[in-house]
C-alpha cells in the first residue's frame, strides 16, 4: 500500500513538466483559433490590463525600442508602502481592506498566521472575497505556484500560458457580454521579473505588445486599451536578511503566535524587500531599534501615537507627524530619508506653516523625483489603510536585500524584487491609448483615471477550473492528503 502511495505521488509530480510542455505546444493553434472566432465580433469596448510587478523603467526601455506605439507616454505609478500586491491593488481598485499585507498574514483575533500554499493551490480562498474576484480574467491560482517549478524555464512557460488564456478570455467576452469594460489581471509578469530578470520579462512584454496590436486590429481600431502595474521590481543580486537571528539574539522570540511578553510574529510571504512584524505595544520601540541595526535594513518604523511615526535607521532618526492632510518631517540626527534639503526648499517657497507642516500635495510635488517618492503619506498609509491586521513595526530593506518564504527560497534565485520604499521597488507604470497621464501618478488616482469603478464581471473568470484539476491535486500533495 505504501509503495502504491509513493508511486502515485511520483506520477503526479512527473505530470507537471508534461503539463507545461503540452500546454505550450498548443499555444500557437489556440491563438489562431481564438482570433478567428473573435473576428466576427465588432462591438467597441475598453480593455484594462493589470500587470503584476512591471517596473516603469522596463516599459520606458521598451517604448524606446518602438513597442507599445499605440499608447500615450507612460507615467510612473507610485505604489503603496510596503510596495506589495495586496495593499497596492486595494488602494488602486478602492476595494475592501485585506486581512493582511499579503496572503500569508498574522491574524490578531485568532492569534495565528493564516494563508497557506494549499490555499493558493486550491484557488478558492486565494480568490473568493478578495480584490481578485472583481477581475474579468485572472489565471487559475495554481499557475502562480507552477511558475516556481523548474525556474526560469517553467516561469516562462506559465507566463505565456497566462497571456494566451487572457486573449482567449477577452475574445470569448466579445460574444457573451455587453459590458463596456473588461479588466484582465496577468500575474506571471511579477514571477518572471523575480525569477527570469529583465531580459525574460521584456520578452513576455513584447509578446503582450503583439497581442494588444492584434486585439486593436480585430476591433477595427475601436478598442481602447489601458495598462498599469501595481508596483515596481528592482533588478539586482539579492541577499537574505538575517532578521530572525537579530531579533532572537536581542532577547525576543520569533514565533507563529504571541505567546509571551517577548513574542514577535514575522510572517514570511514571497521573497520581498519589506517585512511586517507583530508584537505587544510596549515592545515596538526596542524591536524597531534591533531591526534597524541589522545588515541589509534601510530603516524600521513604528507608531508612537496615532499621528506620529518614529523612523530608525543606521543613518539616524526622524519623526514623522500628521495633522489631517498635512505632514511634518523632523530630523533627529542623520536625516535618514534625506528630506532636510526638500524642507529648506519648501520653506523658501512659503509652503511650510509655523508648526513645520506642509500639505499632501506640496510633499508630493517636492519629492516626485526623490529617492523616496511621497514618503510621509506612504508611511502613514502603511500603518493606517487597506489592512485589517496592521503591523506594529514595518521594516524596509536596502536594495539588494530581501526576506521571505523559506519554502520559495528552495526553488528561487531572485533576480528582482519589490516591497521597500525606494524607487526601483516602488515605481510601476500606467499608460493609455486614449489619454495622457503626466509624469507620475499615485495608486489611488488610477481608479478615477481609468474609470475602474465601472468594471463588472463578464463571467469569463477561469480560476478554480484549471486543467485536469491539477491545482487541487497539487494542494492535496502539499498537504500530504491522499
Arithmetic mean of pLDDT, 355-377: 98
Residue that terminates a domain, selected from 414, 436, 455: 414
Same domain, 257 and 400: yes
Report the distance separating Cα 319 and Cα 312, nearest Å: 9
Closest among 23, 68, 363, 264 to 165, alpha carbons compared: 23
Report the distance separating Cα 196 and Cα 216, nearest Å: 29
Report the distance separating Cα 321 and Cα 207, nearest Å: 46
Same domain, 201 and 270: no
Residue that terminates a domain, selected from 414, 448, 468: 414
Same domain, 382 and 255: yes
Our measurement of the distance from residue 96's CA atom to the centroid of its chain's CA atoms, rounded to an integer in Å, reads 16
Query: Strand pairing of 181-186 and 46-51?
Result: parallel
Q: For position 196, which CATH number holds?
A: 3.40.720
Residues 109-136, buried b or exposed e (16+ Cβ, 10 A)?
eeeebbbbbbbbbbbebbbeebbbebbb
Share of the chain above pLDDT 70, in %: 78
Predicted confidence (pLDDT) at residue 470 exceeds the cutoff of 50: no
- By the 8 A CB rule, do 201 and 397 touch? no
Closest among 235, 242, 256 to 403, alpha carbons compared: 242
DSSP 8-state secondary structure symbol assigned to residue 132: G
Same domain, 173 and 120: yes
Tens digits of per-residue pLDDT, 85-121? Answer: 999 999 999 998 999 999 889 999 999 999 866 655 5
Same domain, 200 and 255: no
Same domain, 122 and 164: yes
Q: Report the number of distinct structural domains present in the chain.
A: 2
Closest among 239, 242, 241, 264 to 254, alpha carbons compared: 264
Question: Is 48 in a helix, a strand, or coil?
Answer: strand
- The pLDDT, as a whole number, for residue 141 is 64
Same domain, 271 and 290: yes
Predicted confidence (pLDDT) at residue 360 exceeds the cutoff of 50: yes
Same domain, 20 and 115: yes
Report the distance separating Cα 440 and Cα 454, nearest Å: 23
Report the distance separating Cα 417 and Cα 14, nearest Å: 30
Which helix (H) or strand (E) segment is 377 a member of?
helix 375-384
Same domain, 183 and 37: yes
Arithmetic mean of pLDDT, 248-275: 95
- The confidence band for 410, taking pLDDT boundaries of 50, 70 and 90, is low
Same domain, 462 and 356: no
Of 205-219, 225-239, 458-472, the range with the lowest mean pLDDT is: 458-472
- The pLDDT, as a whole number, for residue 125 is 62
- By the 8 A CB rule, do 411 and 150 touch? no
Which residue would you say has higher pLDDT here, 270 or 310? Answer: 310
Report the distance separating Cα 314 and Cα 441, nearest Å: 31
Predicted confidence (pLDDT) at residue 253 exceeds the cutoff of 70: yes
Residue that terminates a domain, selected from 414, 441, 466: 414
Tens digits of per-residue pLDDT, 296-333? Answer: 999 999 999 999 999 999 999 999 999 999 999 999 99
DSSP 8-state secondary structure symbol assigned to residue 96: P
Ramachandran angles phi, psi of 11, nearest 5°: -65, -40
N-terminal to C-terminal alpha carbon distance within the chain: 12
Report the distance separating Cα 231 and Cα 53, nearest Å: 5
Report the distance separating Cα 271 and Cα 194, nearest Å: 9
Question: Is 457 in a helix, a strand, or coil?
Answer: coil
Averaged pLDDT score across all residues of the chain: 85
Whether the ω angle into residue 152 lies within 30 degrees of 0, i.e. cis, is yes
DSSP 8-state secondary structure symbol assigned to residue 97: P
Domain that holds residue 354: 239-414
Q: Which residues contact 323 (CB under 8 A, 6 or more apart)?
A: 307, 355, 357
Same domain, 259 and 232: no
Residues 296-315, buried b or exposed e (16+ Cβ, 10 A)?
bbbbbbbbeeeeebbbbbee
- The pLDDT, as a whole number, for residue 315 is 97
28 burial type by CB count under 10 A (0-12 exposed, 13-18 middle, 19+ buried): exposed
Same domain, 319 and 360: yes
- By the 8 A CB rule, do 77 and 57 touch? no
- The pLDDT, as a whole number, for residue 409 is 62
Closest among 387, 364, 380, 373 to 309, alpha carbons compared: 380
Amino acid at each position: 500500500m505504501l509503495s502504491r502511495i509513493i508511486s502515485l505521488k511520483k506520477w503526479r509530480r512527473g505530470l507537471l513538466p508534461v503539463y507545461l510542455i503540452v500546454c505550450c505546444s498548443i499555444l500557437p493553434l489556440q491563438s489562431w483559433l481564438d482570433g478567428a472566432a473573435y473576428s466576427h465580433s465588432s462591438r467597441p469596448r475598453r480593455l484594462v490590463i493589470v500587470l503584476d510587478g512591471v517596473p516603469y523603467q522596463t516599459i520606458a526601455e521598451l517604448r524606446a525600442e518602438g513597442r507599445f506605439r499605440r499608447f500615450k507616454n507612460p507615467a510612473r505609478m507610485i505604489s503603496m508602502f510596503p510596495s506589495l500586491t495586496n495593499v497596492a491593488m486595494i488602494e488602486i481598485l478602492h476595494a475592501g481592506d485585506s486581512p493582511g499585507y499579503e496572503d500569508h498574514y498574522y491574524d490578531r483575533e485568532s492569534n495565528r498566521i493564516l494563508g497557506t500554499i494549499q490555499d493558493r493551490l486550491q484557488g478558492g480562498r486565494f480568490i473568493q472575497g478578495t480584490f481578485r474576484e472583481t477581475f474579468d480574467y485572472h489565471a487559475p491560482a495554481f499557475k502562480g505556484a507552477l511558475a516556481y517549478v523548474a525556474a526560469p524555464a517553467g516561469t516562462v512557460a506559465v507566463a505565456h500560458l497566462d497571456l494566451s488564456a487572457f486573449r482567449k478570455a477577452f475574445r470569448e467576452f466579445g460574444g457573451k457580454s455587453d459590458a463596456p469594460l473588461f479588466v484582465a489581471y496577468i500575474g506571471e509578469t511579477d514571477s518572471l521579473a523575480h525569477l527570469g530578470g529583465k531580459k525574460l520579462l521584456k520578452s513576455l512584454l513584447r509578446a503582450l505588445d503583439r497581442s494588444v496590436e492584434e486585439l486593436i486590429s480585430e476591433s477595427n481600431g475601436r478598442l481602447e486599451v489601458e495598462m498599469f502595474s501595481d508596483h515596481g521590481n528592482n533588478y539586482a543580486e539579492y541577499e537574505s536578511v538575517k532578521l530572525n537571528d537579530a531579533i532572537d539574539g536581542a532577547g525576543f522570540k520569533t514565533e507563529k503566535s504571541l505567546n509571551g511578553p517577548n513574542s514577535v510574529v514575522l510572517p514570511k510571504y514571497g521573497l520581498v524587500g519589506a517585512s511586517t512584524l507583530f508584537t505587544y505595544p510596549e515592545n515596538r520601540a526596542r524591536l524597531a531599534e534591533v531591526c534597524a541595526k541589522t545588515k541589509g535594513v534601510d530603516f524600521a518604523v513604528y507608531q508612537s501615537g496615532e499621528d506620529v511615526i518614529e523612523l530608525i535607521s543606521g543613518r539616524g532618526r526622524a519623526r514623522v507627524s500628521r495633522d489631517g492632510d498635512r505632514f511634518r518631517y523632523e530630523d533627529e540626527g542623520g536625516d535618514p530619508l534625506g528630506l532636510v534639503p526638500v524642507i529648506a526648499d519648501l520653506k523658501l517657497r512659503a509652503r511650510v506653516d509655523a508648526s513645520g507642516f506642509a500639505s499632501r500635495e506640496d510633499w508630493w510635488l517636492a519629492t516626485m523625483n526623490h529617492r523616496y517618492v511621497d514618503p510621509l503619506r506612504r508611511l502613514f498609509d502603511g500603518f493606517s489603510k487597506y489592512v485589517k491586521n496592521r503591523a506594529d513595526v514595518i521594516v524596509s530593506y536596502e536594495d539588494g536585500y530581501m526576506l521571505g518564504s523559506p519554502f520559495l527560497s528552495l526553488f528561487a534565485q531572485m533576480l528582482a524584487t519589490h516591497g521597500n520604499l525606494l524607487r526601483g521597488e516602488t515605481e510601476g507604470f500606467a499608460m493609455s491609448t486614449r489619454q495622457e497621464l503626466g509624469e507620475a501618478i499615485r495608486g489611488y488616482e488610477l481608479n478615477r483615471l481609468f474609470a475602474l469603478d465601472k468594471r463588472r464581471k463578464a463571467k469569463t473568470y477561469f480560476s478554480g477550473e484549471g486543467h485536469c484539476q491539477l491545482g487541487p491535486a497539487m494542494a492535496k500533495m502539499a498537504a500530504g492528503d491522499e
